[in-house]
Amino acid sequence: MKFLSNETHINFMSKRLLAGVFSTILIIVSLSSLVMQGLNFGIDFTGGTMIELGYQEQVDLNKLREDLAEGGYPEATVQNFGSIHDVLIRLPVIETQNMAELSNEVVAMLQSKNETEIDVRRVEFVGPQVGDELTEQGGLAMLYALIGILIYVSLRFEYRFAIGSVVALVHDVIITLGFFSLARIEFDLTVLAAILAIIGYSLNDTIVVFDRIRETFLRMRKGESEEIVNAALNDTLSRTLMTSLTTLLVVVALFMFGGEVIHAFSIALLLGIIVGTYSSIYIASNTILAMGVSKEDLLPPVKEEDENVNPDGSQV
């Protein structure tokens, strides 16, 4: 099934220099933000206590922040969680206090300032040591994924294609992380899972494009490398658009109706799908062209003829 009814002849590679400059700017901005202010890590990585409360009336968040500050918790962060009656409170690790008893003290303090009963929906505690381990293991997970992809694509295609795929994946991950750093959206384990999903999604799209590029190089006897890559990209354009749009429909539904719990997760996927589709066309393909890939690089090696074998196949 084709998404586009007519065959397209879009000259994608005529804009590859512009795309390269655009991506370079995005990466510089993302890296600058990551170095200067870092990510807004959630308690999964930093450690701390998270308390979800349900009120019978609408919650005044400013008043709640004042009550927490007066009670000795000025660093607490407060936000609505799903509705105007539900509140999520995050508290950092307090070394001088037993974190296991902290939630009871906070709830008791807030209850004393509220006339109606407060419902405790959920309490989670993560120690700082566990948070450090998760940070280290999360970074290693992404590194191992990229190394595995480099090895796989090198065996499946050719080393230029492997480098192109890894460049596209690093491009996608840096821009997604940079967006979370700039927007100060909380980075937790669900977002890390989304980043790993983005790596898989982008790689799948890139492999499809590379496979068609290889076929087109072998099929077209004449034509420059840029022209052949353009033909391959147009051949896969329908499939790329259909896959991306159908996936985006699901992610948009998660973003709109999934609730606060997976809000950051759906944002990461939404951005990753868009950036991943762009990178498969303009970054991965651009990289292999910049490295000088040609038809000769993709031809199967010619077997050397045995001098002891006659043309009819008989042994001398």
Domain edges within the chain = 12-40+130-296, 48-126
d(Cα 119, Cα 235) in Å, to the nearest integer? Answer: 57
d(Cα 269, Cα 247) in Å, to the nearest integer? Answer: 9
Handedness of CA 52, 58, 62, 64 (dihedral sign): negative
**Rounded CA Rg of the chain:** 27
Q: Is the pLDDT of residue 164 over 70?
A: yes
Q: Is the pLDDT of residue 221 over 70?
A: no
CB atoms near residue 199 (< 10 Å): 21
Between 140 and 279, where is the model more confident?
279
Which letter does DSSP use for residue 38 in this model? Answer: -
- Model pLDDT, residue 97: 65
- Model pLDDT, residue 6: 60
44 and 188 Cβ atoms separated by less than 8 Å:
yes
Tokens 């990551």 correspond to what residue? 34
50 band by pLDDT with thresholds 50, 70 and 90: confident
Question: Quick one: average pLDDT of 16-40?
Answer: 91
d(Cα 267, Cα 114) in Å, to the nearest integer? Answer: 35
- Model pLDDT, residue 35: 92
Which letter does DSSP use for residue 295 in this model? Answer: H
Question: Quick one: average pLDDT of 36-51?
Answer: 81
Phi, psi torsion values for 137, nearest 5 degrees: -70, -35
- Model pLDDT, residue 174: 92
- Model pLDDT, residue 178: 93
The three-state secondary structure class of 123 is strand
283-299 tens-digit pLDDT:
988 888 888 766 665 65
Q: Which residues contact 238 (CB under 8 A, 6 or more apart)?
A: 2, 3, 4
Fold assignment, 48-126: Alpha-Beta Plaits (3.30.70)
Q: Is the pLDDT of residue 73 over 90?
A: no
- Model pLDDT, residue 200: 83
The three-state secondary structure class of 87 is strand
Architecture of domain 12-40+130-296 in CATH? Up-down Bundle (1.20)
Which of 314, 201, 199, 187 has its CA nearest to residue 263?
Answer: 187
pTM to 2 decimal places: 0.76
- Model pLDDT, residue 15: 85
Which range, of 121-125, 146-150, 243-247, averages the lowest pLDDT?
146-150
- Name the average pLDDT for the chain: 80
